[in-house]
A and B are shown apart, each in its own frame.
Chain A
Amino acid sequence: NAGVMQNPRHLVRRRGQEARLRCSPMKGHSHVYWYRQLPEEGLKFMVYLQKENIIDESGMPKERFSAEFPKEGPSILRIQQVVRGDSAAYFCASSPDGSYGYTFGSGTRLTVV
C-alpha cells in the first residue's frame, strides 16, 4: 500500500514561470491537505480538498495560487508567475476521514531562481 506520493521531489523554476506540484493520496483516502514549510518555521496550512471540492482555502494566497483535486487523478497545487518568496517545501497530506492526524508525502522542494 503505497504512501502519499508527491512529484516532483525537486523543482526549479525561473521567476515568472508556472509551478505544478502533484500529490496522489494514499489508497482509500479522500481528504487532501497542502502545507508549506519555510526554514525555521512550522508547516503552514494552505488548502483542504476533497474530490472535486475545495473545503477550506483560508491559507492560500489570494493571487497566483490555486489547487484542485479532480475526480480522477492526483491533486494539483499550481503556482503561477512564481517569485523568489515562493521557494519552500510544499507538503501534501491525506487522511481517510479528515481527523486524527495525517499521512504526509515526502514533499516537493521548489526553488525559484
Chain B
Amino acid sequence: TQLLEQSPQFLSIQEGENLTVYCNSSSVFSSLQWYRQEPGEGPVLLVTVVTGGEVKKLKRLTFQFGDARKDSSLHITAAQPGDTGLYLCAGAMTTDSWGKFQFGAGTQVVVTP
C-alpha cells in the first residue's frame, strides 16, 4: 500500500480546461514536493511546500499544502499540451532520515490539442 495516495490515476482533458490532482495520506509530513516526469526521463521538481495551509503559484500551476500537512493538491489552469506528464507527489516524514521521501504512484495527465 502507498503511504501517499494520488488521485485520479489518469486524467485526459482538452487544451484550455482546468484540472486538479490530489495527494492524500493519513500521515503528517514535514515537507511535500511535486514533480513532473516525462517518458524516459527522471522526475523534475516543480515545488516544495513546508507550512500547513501554504499555497504556492508557479505560472498556471497552483499548489496547496493541507492545514494538517497530510494532503496536497495541484491545480492547473488552462492546461496546455506541454503540461502532459506524470505528476508525482513526495513527502518527507519526520520519522525518516533527513532527505528521504515517500512517493505517490502518480497521476498521468494527458492534454490534447
Of all chain A residues, the one with the shortest Cβ separation from B30 is A99
Which of A12-20, A40-48, A62-70 lines the interface with chain B? A40-48
Task: A41 to B1: give the CA distance in the assembly, Å.
Answer: 10
Interface class of chain B by DSSP = loop
Q: In the assembled complex, which residues on chain B have CB atoms less than 8 Å from the CB atom of A97? A: 99
Of all chain B residues, the one with the shortest Cβ separation from A107 is B42
For A, the interface residue count at a CB cutoff of 8 angstroms equals: 28
Q: Are B103 and A56 in contact (CB under 8 A)?
A: no
Contacts A99-B31, A101-B33 known; A42 to B2 CB distance under 8 Å? yes
Question: How near does chain A come to B57, taking the closest CB pair, in angstroms?
Answer: 17
Q: In the assembled complex, which residues on chain B have CB atoms less than 8 Å from the CB atom of A4? A: 42
Q: In the assembled complex, which residues on chain A have CB atoms less than 8 Å from the CB atom of B100? A: 33, 45, 48, 56
Interface residues of B, Cβ cutoff 8 Å to A: 2, 4, 31, 33, 35, 40-45, 48, 50, 88, 90, 92, 96-106
Interface residues of A, Cβ cutoff 8 Å to B: 4, 31, 33, 35, 40-45, 48, 55-56, 58, 91, 93, 95, 97-107
Known: A58-B97, A97-B99, A100-B50. 16 other contacts (CB 8 A): A33-B99, A43-B103, A55-B97, A56-B96, A91-B42, A95-B99, A98-B98, A98-B99, A99-B98, A101-B33, A102-B45, A103-B45, A104-B35, A104-B42, A104-B43, A106-B41
